[in-house]
Amino acid sequence: MLRPLAWNVGFAVGHPEIDAQHRHLIVLINEIVTAVEQKALENLPVLLGVLRSAASAHFQAETAALHALRSGTHPGVAGRPMTPRLSKALAELRIDEHQAQHALLLDRLGGFRTLPPHTLCERLKEWFVDHAIRQDSRLRPVFQAI
């Protein structure tokens, strides 16, 4: 039996929109797990497409938040003269690397389509944890600075 992916506070970065999107990605992954468990494999292509679209939108939102921090237009820093310097510097350090990681993650996600169903589910969970823990955890100090 496959286990669903459970929310973990370690997946949060302290940005309400990004954290909500992380939760949504988990819901979508768990829908794929459920489809596999119920042997509704005909639903997998559509579910994977929805997950890929949501992941792409999520990556765009992360990039937009970092750009807004870097430019000083993010609502968390606008009008606060001291905080933006630290936020801008942190965002500047993370933005290029983070965008490159997003491209790799989307490529990996696309490659999962050919995996056997149970392996697919495990890889999707690993994919999300890799993104949220290994990569997005680096954003936590950026968002905490605001």
In this predicted model, what pLDDT tens digit does every residue of 87-129 receive, in sequence order?
555 656 566 777 778 888 889 988 999 999 999 999 999 999 9
Closest CA to 33 of 124, 110, 131, 128: 124
Closest CA to 127 of 108, 99, 101, 100: 108
User: Can you give the pLDDT at residue 90?
Assistant: 60
Q: Tokens 């890889």 identify what position?
A: 123
Q: Residue 70: give the domain boundaries.
A: 16-144
Per the domain annotation, does 3 fall within a domain? Answer: no
In this predicted model, what pLDDT tens digit does every residue of 54-96 receive, in sequence order?
999 999 998 888 878 777 766 665 565 555 565 555 656 566 7
Closest CA to 132 of 25, 16, 51, 57: 25
Per the domain annotation, does 109 fall within a domain? Answer: yes
Q: How many domains does the chain have?
A: 1
Per the domain annotation, does 5 fall within a domain? Answer: no
Between 33 and 139, the more confident residue is 33
User: Can you give the pLDDT at residue 103?
Assistant: 85
User: Can you give the pLDDT at residue 64?
Assistant: 87
Per the domain annotation, does 79 fall within a domain? Answer: yes
User: Can you give the pLDDT at residue 99?
Assistant: 76
Q: What are phi and psi of 72, to 5 degrees?
A: 80, 10
Per the domain annotation, does 58 fall within a domain? Answer: yes
In this predicted model, what pLDDT tens digit does every residue of 4-51 receive, in sequence order?
999 999 999 988 999 999 999 999 999 999 999 999 999 999 999 999
User: Can you give the pLDDT at residue 79?
Assistant: 61
Domain with residue 101: its CATH number is 1.20.120
* pTM of the predicted model as reported, rounded to 2 decimal places: 0.87
CB within 8 A of 68, min separation 6: which ones? 74, 75
User: Can you give the pLDDT at residue 74?
Assistant: 65
User: Can you give the pLDDT at residue 40?
Assistant: 96
